[in-house]
Amino acid sequence: MYSWAMLFDVSRPAVQVAPGVAHLPGWLSVSSQEALVSAVREVARAYAGTPMAMYRPRLKSGQMSVHQLHLGRFWHYETYRYVDNIEGTRVPPMLESLRELASPALRAAAEVAPELAPWAESFVPEMALVNYYPPGSGMGMHVDDFEESLAPVISLSIGDEALFRMGNTENRNKPWDDVLLGSGDLIVFGRPKRLAYHGVVRVNDATLPEGCGLREGRINITIRQVDARASLSC
């Protein structure tokens, strides 16, 4: 079991970016970041060469610049649904360390954005999506509407700084809020922004802290509840 040392960055106070959106800088200590990177890297190596390997998805608009690894559930772009296996290979299990992070992350976020409070004790961490952003990469504005549940999305940043853009629920245009995410930052977004367009405008190369587990680039880990009727007692 991991012992997660939470270390807030007092130089960058926690803020409510918008209703239902909380940003907590420096929420994960550098040692905790390194432990997460190590755990994710171990899974990626174990599943290399299988249908569940880390890969760059190809969409109708082209191939993504980020590399994705799914834990707990796999979003199958071709059939547009969550699956638990492909060609007989089961999805890598959800890391217990990420499960343990979900509740304290939501409790901390709810202190900043009270709209998140109802989920602090009921959220079920069913899957995690790991996105690796190589130097020079980004992600266009999109909506996370794959899940049946409208539970908040818990997002952790490790590595190089990234300019995160939280938009509106209508389209990819303004108004939006830009947030600079550093290594160890936590951002949580739920209603009324759960289905808002959002993306990563850019990654600022060579800005990662020593000891975070990466030599370059950025890892973003989003923890999600997929099923609307999921229960912690299950």
CATH for 164: 2.60.120.590
User: pLDDT tens, 162-173?
Assistant: 999 999 999 999
Report how many domains make up the chain.
1
CA distances from 38 to 6, 43, 111, 125, 229 (A): 18, 9, 30, 20, 32
The pLDDT value given to residue 88: 93
Residues of the chain with pLDDT under 70: 1-10, 231-234
Domain extent at residue 135: 15-224
Q: Residue 7 domain-assigned? A: no
Euclidean distance between CA atoms 78 and 98, whole angstroms: 27
The pLDDT value given to residue 61: 83
The pLDDT value given to residue 78: 86
Q: Residue 229 domain-assigned? A: no
Q: Residue 190 domain-assigned? A: yes
Spatial CB neighbours of 158, under 8 Å, sequence gap ≥ 6: 28, 33, 36, 37, 183, 184, 212, 213, 214, 218, 219, 220, 221
The 10 Å Cβ neighbour count of residue 111 is 14
Q: Residue 220 domain-assigned? A: yes
Q: Residue 3 domain-assigned? A: no
The pLDDT value given to residue 12: 87
Q: Residue 69 domain-assigned? A: yes
